[in-house]
């Protein structure tokens, strides 16, 4: 390798690091910190919550064929609706913790690739989905639990109480804590209610339950950690009178083993208030509850080291588009979004085929990634009626194993959030589609202005894991007349305007990352020319955009030559950058073609001369020549 070659390579490497805006030592340190792949989702619940985290490894052992029921939330980490519902679900789990011997509160993250099979097999059609899986539950066709159609804490509690009561169990043979949910009858009395009970039962609490409520069921479930008391329900006024119950003034009575009855009036007419009154009564008698059983939780993955450094770097280079984010979007789409759909047929199959055709045309991956998408597209287009999600998943894994390695990065960079539960895939998906609309606008081979927008619409409608987001997008697309976009440059601007509308809708939302607030893009300090009147708005409060300047700005930042490779771990998998291609041209231009031909001729001439010299001196010897002055001297 020549000295010139080495010099150019060194300059090129330094230039590439300088382009990323990262000092070389810190860049290398960050790569070492990010060398191991990590789950970017981490779920919406952690060890501080009472929600039992489910994965493919513990799902069946926790909720299938158990002696108690389970409320399971199927969710997607990047689903905005799921993120907003998570605090409510945590309250549900905390609220119903005393029920845990009879019913647990759990959740499984369908955004985690490892859980694809579970979410696909349980035919989860939207997120979040709540299902009640009763005692002895066994999944089967058309039976994957009962849907709990509410996201209100009180309504969820009431629905679950009704579902538990519908099990029609006086006591579960395999669960000694299962309450007796049958009503007291006219044959029952203060002395007979203790028949068949263990000696640990010192009291029987009788609860008057108004019609069409689950009050008594809830009280019985809240009191399961208290072995000293048995809760019974009464609805018949005559039977209630036998236990001195006045439904209006003293709807609760407590019977001891001597047959003595004491009545009480809880503060509020709900199960939790009744349970607190009973706990107060038992506490005064120095009776304590049994410790609530703690279920073993799977280990929470460790967050990516150097996350704060990534965020600082992204803030320093706020207009960079990152290769890592484009790759993470594609990988999540193929490995998770499409793969977890049970049956891909009809409109779904057509949408997938269109998406892969467009992705193949505007693919940001390296050589192996281009082969993967091309082969995957050929595989999918051969199906005309139905493709199973499991088939698609198996084929993706087979092709990736054959072409490995495919992806140059395993983490988000520009789309990394201040918390693992923020930004991520949804951010990278916008990035990918913006990238593709820009490439389509610069592609003269295709004249279809809707190719990318149609692929995006079909994907979001049929595969995107955020149900609420999908519905919002479809409504917006219809209102903004997506199918009337006249040309490819207008397609770029349509997507830009749609993204700004979403930003405006989500500004200040609970899902917003405080490090990356939702703003109109580009901002005045990023592109002052993009505003006709910077800092002002029109009479209808709409920003007066200079769309020609916006288009130029977008084409610049999404230019493939300017895609940042900061955070990429295997750059050798990608196509050479413009800088590297320029270095090669510079090296090759050190000598012109004429110089090279002349050099070859000189080299051949030297070889010929050396051969002739060898023949003259080695084979013919030395012979002294006569000189003219010798002859003249003799004369």
C-alpha–C-alpha distance, residues 572 and 502, integer Å: 36
Mean pLDDT of 61-90: 93
> pLDDT (tens digit, 9 = 90+) per residue, 364-394?
999 999 999 999 999 999 999 999 999 999 9
Q: Computed from CA positions of residues 551, 514, 563, 420, in that sequence, does the dihedral angle turn out positive or negative?
A: negative
Rounded CA-CA distance 38/108 in Å is 18
* CB contact at 8 A, 244 and 253: yes
Predicted local distance difference test score (pLDDT) of residue 608: 75
Predicted local distance difference test score (pLDDT) of residue 296:
59
Torsion of CA 160, 164, 167, 168, to 10 degrees: -130
- Tell me the pLDDT band of 596, cut-offs 50, 70 and 90: low
Q: Is the pLDDT at 96 greater than 70, yes or no?
A: yes
Q: pLDDT, tens digit, for every residue of 216-229?
A: 999 999 999 999 99
Tens of pLDDT, residue by residue over 541-572, are 578 999 999 999 999 999 988 899 998 889 88
- High-pLDDT (> 70) share of the chain, %: 82
Give the pLDDT band (50/70/90) at residue 328: very high
Residue 471, number of CB atoms within 10 A of its CB: 14
Has residue 4 got a pLDDT over 70? Answer: no
Question: Residue 106: which H helix or E strand, with range?
Answer: strand 103-109
Q: What is the DSSP string of 461-518?
A: HHT-S-HHHHHHHHHHHHHTTGGG--SHHHHHHHHHHHHHHHHHHHTT-TT-BTTB--
Of 175 and 151, which is predicted with more confidence? 151
> What percent of the chain clears pLDDT 90, i.e. is strictly above it?
64
| pLDDT the model gives residue 377 | 96
Between 169 and 605, the higher pLDDT residue: 605
**How far apart, in whole angstroms, are the C-alpha atoms of residue 45 and residue 94?**
13
The pLDDT assigned to 593 comes to 55
Please check the confidence at residue 611 and state whether its pLDDT lies above 80. no
How far is C-alpha 345 from the chain's CA centre? Answer: 24
Mean pLDDT of 126-136: 93
- DSSP 8-state assignment for residue 333: I
What does the radius of gyration of the chain's CA atoms come to, in whole angstroms? 37
* pLDDT confidence of residue 471: 92
- Is residue 268 predicted with pLDDT exceeding 50? yes
Cα–Cα distance measured from residue 495 to residue 456, given in angstroms and rounded to the nearest whole number: 10
Lowest mean pLDDT among 83-87, 478-482, 509-513, 592-596: 592-596
Choice between 264 and 591, residue whose per-residue pLDDT is larger:
264
Model pTM score: 0.78
In sequence order, the β-bridge partners of residue 250 are 246
* DSSP 8-state secondary structure symbol assigned to residue 246: B
What Cα–Cα distance (Å) separates residue 504 from each residue in 55, 498, 501, 540, 580? 35, 10, 5, 15, 40
Structure tokens at 98: 């005393």
pLDDT above 70 (res 150): yes
Q: What is the pLDDT of residue 169?
A: 58
**Site of tokens 């054959």:** 402
Confidence of residue 419 (pLDDT cuts 50, 70, 90): confident
Q: Is the pLDDT of residue 235 over 90?
A: yes
Three-state secondary structure readout of 550-595: HHHHHHHHCCHHHCECCCCCCHHHCCCCHHHHHHHHHHHCCCCHHH
Task: Work out the pLDDT band at 604, boundaries 50, 70, 90.
Answer: confident
| Upper half-sphere CA count for residue 115 (Cβ side, 13 Å) | 24
pLDDT digits (tens, 9 = 90+) for 16-53: 333 333 333 443 343 333 333 344 446 899 988 999 99
Lowest-confidence region among 220-234, 350-364, 549-563, 600-614: 600-614
Structure-token pair, residue 28:
């290398």
When pLDDT is averaged across residues 154-181 and rounded to a whole number, the result is 84
Give the model confidence (pLDDT) of 434-481 as tens digits: 999 999 999 888 889 999 999 999 999 999 988 889 999 999 999 999
Dihedral of the alpha carbons of 456, 461, 465, 467, in degrees to the nearest 10: 130
Does 607 or 474 have the greater pLDDT score? 474
CB 6 within 8 A of CB 586: no
State how far Cα 162 lies from the chain centre: 34
**Exposure pattern of 405-425 as b/e (b: 16+ CB <10 Å)?**
ebbbbbbbbbbbbeebbbbbb
- Alpha-carbon dihedral sign for residues 363, 465, 516, 35: negative
CA dist 393 and 312 (Å) reads 36
pLDDT for position 577: 67
Rounded Cα gap, residues 327 and 364, in angstroms: 8
d(CA 96, CA 497): 44
Residue 483 has pLDDT above 60, yes or no: yes
């Amino acid at each position: 390798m020549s000295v010139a070659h080495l010099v150019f390579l060194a300059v090129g490497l330094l230039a590439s690091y300088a382009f990323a805006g990262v000092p070389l030592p810190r860049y290398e340190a960050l790569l070492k910190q990010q060398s191991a792949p990590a789950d970017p989702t981490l779920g919406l619940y952690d060890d501080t919550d009472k929600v039992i985290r489910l994965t493919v490894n513990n799902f069946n052992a926790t909720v299938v064929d158990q002696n108690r029921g389970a409320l399971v939330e199927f969710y997607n980490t990047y689903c905005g609706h799921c993120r907003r519902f998570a605090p409510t679900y945590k309250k549900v789990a905390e609220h119903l913790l005393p029920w845990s011997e009879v019913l647990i509160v759990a959740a499984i993250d369908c955004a985690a690739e490892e859980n694809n099979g579970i979410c696909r097999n349980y035919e989860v059609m939207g997120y979040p989905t709540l299902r009640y899986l009763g005692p002895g539950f066994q999944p089967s066709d058309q039976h994957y639990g009962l849907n709990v159609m509410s996201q209100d804490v009180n309504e969820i509690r009431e629905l679950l109480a009704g579902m538990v009561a519908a099990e029609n169990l006086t006591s579960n043979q395999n669960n000694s804590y299962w309450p007796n949910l049958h009503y007291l009858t006219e044959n029952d009395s203060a002395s007979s209610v203790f028949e068949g009970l263990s000696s640990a039962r010192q009291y029987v609490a009788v609860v008057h339950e108004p019609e069409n409520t689950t009050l008594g069921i809830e009280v019985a479930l809240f009191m399961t950690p208290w072995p000293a008391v048995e809760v019974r329900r009464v609805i018949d006024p005559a039977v209630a009178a036998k236990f001195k119950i006045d439904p209006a003034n003293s709807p609760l009575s407590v019977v001891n083993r001597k047959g003595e009855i004491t009545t009480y009036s809880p503060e509020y007419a709900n199960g939790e208030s009744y349970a607190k009154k009973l706990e107060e009564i038992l506490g005064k008698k120095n009776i304590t509850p049994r410790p609530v059983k703690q279920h073993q939780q799977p280990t929470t993955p460790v967050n990516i080291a150097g996350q704060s450094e990534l965020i600082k770097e992204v803030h320093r280079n706020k207009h960079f588009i990152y290769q890592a984010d484009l790759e993470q979007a594609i990988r999540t789409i193929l490995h998770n979004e499409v793969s977890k759909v049970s049956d891909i047929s009809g409109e779904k199959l057509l949408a997938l085929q269109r998406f892969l055709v467009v992705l193949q045309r505007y693919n940001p991956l390296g050589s192996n990634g281009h082969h993967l998408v091309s082969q995957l597209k050929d595989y999918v287009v051969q199906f005309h009626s139905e493709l199973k999600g499991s088939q698609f998943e198996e084929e993706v894994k087979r092709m990736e194993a054959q072409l490995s390695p495919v992806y140059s990065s395993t983490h988000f960079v520009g789309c990394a959030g201040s918390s693992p539960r923020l930004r991520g895939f949804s951010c990278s998906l916008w990035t990918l589609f913006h990238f593709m609309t820009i490439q389509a606008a610069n592609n003269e081979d295709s004249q279809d202005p809707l190719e990318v927008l149609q692929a995006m619409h079909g994907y979001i409608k049929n595969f995107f894991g955020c149900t609420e987001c999908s519905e919002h997008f479809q409504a917006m697309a219809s209102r903004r007349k997506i199918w009337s976009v006249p040309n490819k440059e207008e397609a770029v601007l349509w997507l830009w305007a749609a993204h700004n509308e979403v930003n405006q809708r989500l500004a200040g939302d609970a899902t917003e990352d405080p490090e990356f607030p939702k703003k109109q893009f580009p901002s005045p300090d990023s592109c002052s020319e993009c505003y006709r009147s910077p800092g002002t708005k029109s009479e209808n409060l709409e920003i007066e955009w200079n769309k020609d300047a916006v288009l130029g700005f977008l084409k610049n930042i999404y230019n493939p030559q300017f895609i940042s490779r900061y955070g990429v771990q295997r750059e050798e998998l990608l196509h050479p950058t413009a800088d590297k291609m320029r270095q090669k041209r510079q090296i090759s231009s050190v000598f012109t073609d004429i110089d090279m031909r002349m050099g070859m001729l000189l080299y051949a001439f030297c070889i010929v001369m050396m051969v002739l010299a060898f023949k003259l001196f080695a084979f013919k010897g030395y012979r002294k020549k006569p000189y003219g002055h010798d002859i003249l001297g003799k004369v």
